[in-house]
Structure 1
Amino acid sequence: MTTAPATPVYRDPRRYLWLLSLGAPLCAVFTSTLVSLTQIKAFWWIGVLVFFVIIPLVDWASGVDGINPPDWAYRQLSNDKFYRWCTFLFLPLNFIAFVIAAYLWGDGALSIVDKVGLAMTIGLFSGLGINAAHELGHRSDRLERWLAKLALTQSAYGHFVVEHNRGHHARVATPEDPASSRLGERLYEFIPRSIIFSLASGWCLEATRLRRRGHRVISWRNEILQAWTMTVALFGAVTALFGIGILPYLFLQAAVAIFILETVNYIEHYGLRRATRDDGRYEAIRPEHSWNSDQRVSNLLMFQLQRHSDHHAHPGRRYQTLRTLDEAPKLPAGYASMMLLAMSPLWMHVMGPRLVKFYDGDVTRANISPRRRTKILTRFGTPASADLGEGVRSAQAG
């Protein structure tokens, strides 16, 4: 009798390196300890140092990841609960850091500058916590979806779970998607547009879902209201414990976390646009509709959010199974570096030509800011073969 061949087992070379993702909340937890040991008050701002100096430098030094798990290992990796616990453990560490910070904000021993630095640190690492919420919110498992809402409590951005999954993933890389930035649109124009219209879209989507099922919109079944209630409860509890004086820092850390999230949104789909089919509908979502980055360290710290092209093309994939795909447009650096670039005037000079090159010189294929359409067409030119009618439709849709 012939023995059936054993099922191959994939050995993930990065398996235990995923625990590095917990380094961010741990930094926040031990900020006060670091200041106490060194007497260097600048460490209250350690989040800024880690996020915008250390990570970009380490990304540059470590280079590109390039490791794609084999297709046959997909089910094994997906079912391995070790990877889920990496996201689960992020949450209590993040909340421990938050509570420690609340205690310190209520303590008169810290100066206003120190408290602002601590709020910036907590907010930056809370922004990474939203990334954990992003991973958990895509799952059908009820526990993981509730944990996603819990992860968003600190940033008061609970509508993200609804809008991101049901809105953004359906309309990505189209003028109708508030979370898809447009060629020529500056970061500080994009952020308020994305915040306002994503909130409105999320509420409409949830209201439609509830009415379709015969439920009232204002009820305990409303997922957005569930998340907002959790935020009110958290903020109310820490204010009652540590005093009303911590409120400005609570709002500041939430604003920083939201700013980080929306800056990431800005760079992920900048100027990319899905073509319109003959029937007027948009083409299917493909890897070409998201910018990709594959820096090794950022992948580990951000649960491979940078492999965004595969995520949008296959949103059901868990982070450990995401691949870097050749057909995806490539960012020149990791997310932390690109966020710094997005905050500067250099963004337009770097990403505009890169986008036009990706579209083989035909800028009319891009998702262009209606306000700057004429200026952009003048700068980059309009190829004779370009479908100008499509360009006009794009401007009207925008």
Structure 2
Amino acid sequence: MSSVDMTLAEARAHDRKRWLWPMGFGIIIIVAAIALTGWATGITWLIFSGPIVVYAVVPLLDYFIGKDSSNPPERVMEILEHDPFYRYSTYIYVAVQMGLFIGACAIVGTQDLTIAQWLGFVTTIGMLSGISINTAHELGHKRTWLEGWLAKIALAPVAYGHFYVEHNRGHHARVATPEDPASARMGESFWAFLPRTVSGSLRSAWEIEKRTLARKGHSTWSVHNEVLQAWGMTAILWGVLMAVFGIALLPFLIIQAVLGASLLEAVNYAEHYGLLRKKDADGRYERCKPEHSWNNDHIVTNIMLFHLQRHSDHHAHPTRRYQSLRHFDEAPELPTGYAGMIVLAYFPPLWYRVMDKRVLAHYNGDLRQASLQPAARARLLAAYPPPVSAAD
């Protein structure tokens, strides 16, 4: 065995989750198989496999299986980055996602379903569409034309193509600041955050692309507009599906897209809740650091979301591939994986009870350093008075 082969083998040995990564697309195949079994056998509750897995099974598995906070040594990072095994897992995911999506549309559009069966399919596909946005996120940060287009394809079913522009060139520049529509503020419920982030991200993506095209001498309304490219892919996909399977498919397409987008935004809500970058003396925000993202190392959700929960390293190195993302001891930790945090986010009193004390501890009791919902600022500072210093 050559020294190069030995180094590659060593690098692979340091990734404890190497053979679990294909479960990223394996999980959605299992979910779809359960739903199809429920439809074929008349066991209707099985068709709701999507929400059952996302909201119950994965949080429970996170709890019982636990965490993996290990990092590959620096000497093997570059080798892991260029190992094609990891790229192929994301490529296959997109193909599997599209196949399952089209198959579900064929069933919904051509079969005589009960209301319960229809609801089962729309919620399950909505969950899978939402999870698939994360694969688009992983691919969209890479610099190859193939991965860029695969990211847009993965976003097409859920009609959230503007995410490709806003996340890469908006959110990453403004993360953990009041100007970022995708960074939640302490005291802001998920239900208040959702319309703010959806509308704000849409406006931001359009303005970013408009400015970019103007600098390049292109019209906003041109084939060069990446927002229009992504939305056009949704229009073509949905149009073809309705032409083949019937216009009655439209409510299914819309509702699964809304569910998928809201699942993504629930994750966004958890990722930076209450965290704030300080301004330097020149009025510019400090560089994004590990302490500006909530992290988590529960294994099951990390496999399902391609290490998205190692969010601090992702913001420090956006083009770094998921297998190389590192755990930081100094980064604030969520009490459970994103799947469990999504469930909490839907119930604001529970969310505040779990998360507000963590924000408080992160800032050593001084919420003046945190990102606070303006309408809740006075109430929060009264409930958690800042510590008295000698200067005070």
What range is the shorter-chain TM-score in? over 0.9
Q: Which among 85, 91, 94 is matched to residue 91 of structure 1?
A: 94
Matched residues in 2 for 1:273 and 1:316: separation?
A: 23
For 1:309, the equivalent position in structure 2 comes to 312
The structural deviation recorded for 1:38 is 4.2
For 1:393, the equivalent position in structure 2 comes to none
Q: Which among 199, 209, 212 is matched to residue 212 of structure 2?
A: 209
Letter paired with 2:170: G
Larger displacement relative to structure 2 (179-188 or 106-115): 106-115
Matched residues in 2 for 1:386 and 1:296: separation?
A: 45
Letter paired with 2:81: S
Letter paired with 1:350: V
Q: Which among 39, 42, 52 is matched to residue 39 of structure 1?
A: 42
Q: Which among 229, 234, 244 is matched to residue 231 of structure 1?
A: 234
For 2:123, the equivalent position in structure 1 comes to 120
Is the contact made by 2:67 and 2:297 (CA closer than 8 Å) also made in structure 1?
yes
Following superposition of structure 1 onto structure 2, how do residues 163-312 of structure 1 map, counting pairs within 5 Å?
163-312=166-315
Letter paired with 1:146: W
Matched residues in 1 for 2:390 and 2:238: separation?
A: 53
Q: Is the partner of 2:176 in helix, strand or coil?
A: coil
The structural deviation recorded for 1:37 is 5.5
The structural deviation recorded for 1:386 is 10
In structure 1, list runs of 5 or more residues that go unmatched: 389-398
For 2:387, the equivalent position in structure 1 comes to 383
Matched residues in 2 for 1:233 and 1:208: separation?
A: 26
The structural deviation recorded for 1:29 is 3.8
Cα deviations by residue, 1:113-138 (Å, 9 ceiling, x for unpaired): 21121111001011111000000000
For 1:394, the equivalent position in structure 2 comes to none
Q: Is the partner of 2:110 in helix, strand or coil?
A: coil
Is the contact made by 1:28 and 1:122 (CA closer than 8 Å) also made in structure 2?
no
Letter paired with 1:355: V
For 1:395, the equivalent position in structure 2 comes to none
Does the alignment pair 1:61 with 2:64? yes
Cα deviations by residue, 1:217-259 (Å, 9 ceiling, x for unpaired): 1000000000000000011111111111111110010001100
Is the contact made by 1:105 and 1:245 (CA closer than 8 Å) also made in structure 2?
no
Is the contact made by 1:174 and 1:274 (CA closer than 8 Å) also made in structure 2?
yes
Is the contact made by 1:364 and 1:387 (CA closer than 8 Å) also made in structure 2?
no
The structural deviation recorded for 1:107 is 2.9
Q: Which among 20, 27, 30 is matched to residue 27 of structure 1?
A: 30
Cα deviations by residue, 1:94-123 (Å, 9 ceiling, x for unpaired): 111111111121134211221121111001
Q: Is the partner of 1:125 in helix, strand or coil?
A: helix
Letter paired with 1:347: W
Matched residues in 1 for 2:363 and 2:224: separation?
A: 44
The structural deviation recorded for 1:350 is 1.1
For 2:142, the equivalent position in structure 1 comes to 139
Change (3 A) 1:386 1:151: farther
Matched residues in 1 for 2:390 and 2:143: separation?
A: 42
Q: Is the partner of 1:116 in helix, strand or coil?
A: helix
Change (3 A) 1:387 1:336: farther
For 2:361, the equivalent position in structure 1 comes to 357
Q: Is the partner of 2:22 in helix, strand or coil?
A: helix
Matched residues in 2 for 1:144 and 1:262: separation?
A: 23
Following superposition of structure 1 onto structure 2, how do residues 146-165 of structure 1 map, counting pairs within 5 Å?
146-165=149-168
The structural deviation recorded for 1:316 is 2.2
Letter paired with 2:229: Q
Matched residues in 1 for 2:389 and 2:149: separation?
A: 50
Letter paired with 1:165: N
Matched residues in 2 for 1:115 and 1:104: separation?
A: 10
Matched residues in 1 for 2:390 and 2:133: separation?
A: 40
Taking structure 2 as the reference length, what is the TM-score of the superposition?
0.95
Matched residues in 2 for 1:359 and 1:271: separation?
A: 10
Is the contact made by 1:77 and 1:320 (CA closer than 8 Å) also made in structure 2?
yes
Q: Which among 74, 77, 93 is matched to residue 74 of structure 1?
A: 77
Paired residue total: 386
Matched residues in 2 for 1:290 and 1:386: separation?
A: 31
Give me the identity figure in percent.
Answer: 47
Does the alignment pair 1:372 with 2:387? no
Is the contact made by 2:31 and 2:53 (CA closer than 8 Å) also made in structure 1?
no
Is the contact made by 1:290 and 1:309 (CA closer than 8 Å) also made in structure 2?
yes
Matched residues in 1 for 2:391 and 2:264: separation?
A: 34
Q: Is the partner of 1:140 in helix, strand or coil?
A: coil
Taking structure 1 as the reference length, what is the TM-score of the superposition?
0.94
The structural deviation recorded for 1:33 is 3.4
The structural deviation recorded for 1:22 is 1.1
Is the contact made by 2:39 and 2:47 (CA closer than 8 Å) also made in structure 1?
no
Is the contact made by 1:29 and 1:96 (CA closer than 8 Å) also made in structure 2?
no
Matched residues in 1 for 2:27 and 2:103: separation?
A: 15
Matched residues in 1 for 2:83 and 2:163: separation?
A: 27
Letter paired with 2:147: E
In structure 2, list runs of 5 or more residues that go unmatched: none
Q: Is the partner of 2:197 in helix, strand or coil?
A: helix
The structural deviation recorded for 1:265 is 0.3
